[in-house]
Amino acid sequence: MRNWMRRIAIPNSTLLPKPLFSFNSTTPFLISFLTPPRLFLSTPLSSQCSSHFGDGDTFAISSNHSKVLLKGMSYPELQKWVQSHGYRPGQAMMLWKRIYGNSIWAQHTDDLEGLNKDFKKMLSENAEFKVFSLKEIRTAADGTRKILFALDDGMVIETVVIPCDRGRTTLCVSSQVGCAMNCQFCFTGRMGLRRHLTAAEIVEQAVFARRLLTNEVGSITNVVFMGMGEPLHNIDNVIKAADIMVDEQGLQFSPRKVTVSTSGLVPQLRRFLHESNCSLAVSLNATTDEVRNWIMPINRKYKLDLLLQTLREELRSKHNYIVLFEYVMLEGVNDSDEDAKRLIEIVKGIPCKINLISFNPHSGSLFKPTKDERMIEFRNMLAGGGCKVFLRLSRGDDQMAACGQLGKPGTIQAPLLRVPEQFRMALGTKT
Ligand SMILES: C[S@@+](CC[C@H](N)C(=O)[O-])C[C@H]1O[C@@H](n2cnc3c(N)ncnc32)[C@H](O)[C@@H]1O
Ligand code: SF4
């Protein structure tokens, strides 16, 4: 329960995010996404809410729920709620264990075995357990499962379960519907941002995947926030969800095995390192500002130097903490010998390991994956320069379940940016 005491203030309404950016704008992309996200709560969606994202795309949530959604509450929030209904705080712990504790996972009041009758009656009158519903599970040839969940407002999110070797199974969770960051190689980025997920919607992906798939794929050992969305753009809900995941009476994942991956929102990254003991991954993907400004426009706001210097400083005070750098290899764009040499230099002084990721193609993308032999050469150069470096195989790509392939086809809204002149030939494009 160690993190709870720091974050028990609860606003008491359900809020939707403000419009984050307009695709009509003459500014070619993003910028205002950098405003801090507003909180979602695990309280009922009692009001009509609407929000607008780009190109006249308006969505609305209306709900008749009069019950409180218990999932996604922090433990102190749950305790307070239980007490407000006249029950002892001890009942809250019993309930908490039934919501999250291994092997129980209550989905509705009937599942709440062992609780006293009155308490159960109160819960059936006042509490809601259902967060979203299962839409579909697709299984890829390599055993990777892509799970589609339908949210209350009709939107769909994707969660991926990846059986790995040595008894490890990794769950890849989404933190937003779509993403505002517009990384040029990522299918989710092409959707633009629809909305943040609530803490309940994030945690429930883990609860559901465990219930559904443990028998088939073995127990889920690792969680990575590498699904749809930029987790640190939705930092309040992500930290809250991660806290529930690592809670010793909750989902009981080891903090080292829960990894939040970011494109590099520097102030939020700093906050994450201070407030969470979970692991951090940073998607680097380029070794110069020129290339990163293009393929990851967030770099125009937070330059490589600032990002890396922040990590250097922040990690100094974190004992035994290693950041994971992800580097998606794009042929002719970021895979030259010069890139390898620069990469060795720019990560110096940061306790880290580097994952080289094969680019997963998707419709409309400009890029080509770096060939396997070149990835191996690149890996060897980095290793020769003293880096801890790994090649990461693509998983689930035949079902569009691999990194950067999540999202709804036909929902493209974010613009492709101008390709810098020196890359046009390699990419076979004129603009
Ligand atoms: C989809 S992102 C989600 C987490 C976070 N938004 C981020 O960028 O780190 C997870 C990882 O997928 C990588 N990625 C995105 N598109 C990809 C693609 N088409 N092929 C391979 N990896 C991709 C990103 O660079 C990132 O390291
Ligand atoms: S790579 Fe991450 S930050 Fe970039 S668009 Fe995709 S999900 Fe968003």
Q: Write out pLDDT tens, residues 40-98.
A: 222 222 222 222 222 222 222 234 458 899 989 999 999 999 999 999 989 999 999 88
How far, in Å, from the CA of 228 to the mean position of ligand 2? 7
Digit-coded pLDDT (tens) for 134-145: 999 999 988 899
Residue identified by tokens 């390709």 is: 419
Q: Give yes or no for residue 310 having a pLDDT over 50.
A: yes
Q: Which residues contact 372 (CB under 8 A, 6 or more apart)?
A: 358
- Tell me what pLDDT residue 338 has: 98
Q: What is the mean pLDDT of the chain?
A: 82
Residue that is written with structure tokens 């290339």 in the block:
291
- Residues annotated as part of the active site: 158, 403
Give ranges for CATH 3.20.20.70 in the chain.
133-427
Ligand 1 atom 22: the closest Cα is on which residue? 403
Residue 334: which of 368, 301, 363 has the closest Cα?
Answer: 368
Which of 30, 230, 283 best tests ligand 1's pocket when mutated (most atoms within 8 Å of CB)? 283
**pLDDT digit string, tens, across residues 344-378:** 999 999 999 999 999 998 887 889 999 999 999 99
Higher per-residue pLDDT: 40 or 151: 151
| Nearest alpha carbon to residue 175 among 245, 226, 212 | 226
Confidence (pLDDT) at 61? 29
Order of all β-strands in the sheet with 389-392:
133-139, 145-150, 156-163, 169-172, 222-225, 258-262, 279-283, 323-329, 352-358, 389-392
Best mutation site among 284, 326, 334 for ligand 1 pocket (most ligand atoms within 8 Å of CB): 326
Q: Which of 170, 118, 112, 185 is nearest to 423 (CA)?
A: 185
For the entire predicted model, the pTM comes to 0.85
With a 6 A CB cut-off, is 262 part of the ligand 1 pocket?
A: yes
The answer regarding whether domain 133-427 maps to CATH 3.30.499.10 reads: no
pLDDT reading at 27 higher than 60: no
> In the prediction, which pLDDT does 31 show?
30
Architecture of domain 49-128: Orthogonal Bundle (1.10)
Domain with CATH 1.10.150.530 in the chain: 49-128
